[in-house]
Structure 1
Amino acid sequence: MSEYNPCLDCGACCAYFRVSFFWGECQSSGGVVPDDLVVQINPTRVAMIGTDAKPSRCISLEGEVGKQVGCSIYANRSSPCREFDASWVNGVHNPSCDDARAAYGLPPLTPPGANEPHWPDDGDDGAKVA
């Protein structure tokens, strides 16, 4: 069984940020990103179609943000997508993840174990004895 991936229930970053990168990542330049999914934004950079203006939504995002999503080119995604981690992946907070989630009314992700009570419930009245 694989570990839970909060990104598959979110997708907010794919529908909030501009995804721009060096044109050399495109297939016609030897990269992996399909050429027909990008738009030129300056002489050296391209952006995923749909992320070059607001409101933003990447052409490769499938599904409903905040419900169930996926990337139609996941194996061939650009470097900004490969480098963007959900908050608390490997124990690192990502405020940009929080910002994108907030734009869609989603709560920020919490560190693993953060939703667990600090003290185990031992059935007493809550008083702790040292």
Structure 2
Amino acid sequence: MSHDVDDHNPCLTCGACCVTFRVSFYWAEAEERGLPPALTEPLQRWFACMAGTNQPQPRCVALQGDIGVAVACGVYAQRPTPCREVEAGDEKCQRARARHGLPPLATGSS
């Protein structure tokens, strides 16, 4: 989820990716990025995920706010690689938005 200062950033009124996907990553990345241990859960020997995202109805514990209204990531600077890879308007973004009844973003949104 992008988090620019720009008030027109669609991610700041969305958050659908944070309540759609399991955010899994190599376990050591959490420590490298400074993520508090309470915000991650072990998955397998070498993998962890953001707490709350390995549920039937995922919601990352770092997500603050209401989906489709106003949201923010409580650990944006420390967010793991999978979060950094999703971009406004990409395929994952569009799938997450559709799942939560939000309109698609125009191609090229940032």
Structure 1 unmatched ranges of 5 or more: 88-93, 114-130
Greater radius of gyration (CA) = 1
Q: Distance in 2 between matches of 1:14 and 1:79?
A: 13
Question: Match for residue 109 of structure 1?
Answer: 105
Question: Match for residue 58 of structure 1?
Answer: 60
Within 5 A, what are the aligned runs for 1:90-101? 94-101=90-97
Question: Match for residue 76 of structure 1?
Answer: 78
Q: Which runs of 4+ in 1 moved over 6 A?
A: none
Q: Distance in 2 between matches of 1:43 and 1:24?
A: 11
Length-normalised TM-score, structure 2:
0.88
**1:65-100: CA deviation from partner (whole Å, max 9, x where unpaired):** 00000000011111111111111xxxxxx1211110
Relative contact order, CA 8 A, sep 6+: which one is greater? 2
CA RMSD, Structure 1 to Structure 2 (Å): 1.7
Identical amino acids, percent of aligned pairs:
43
Q: Distance in 2 between matches of 1:31 and 1:14?
A: 18
Question: Match for residue 90 of structure 1?
Answer: none
1:15 equivalent in alignment to 2:19: yes
Structure in which a larger fraction of residues adopt helix: 2
Q: Distance in 2 between matches of 1:13 and 1:66?
A: 11
Letter in 2 for 1:43: R
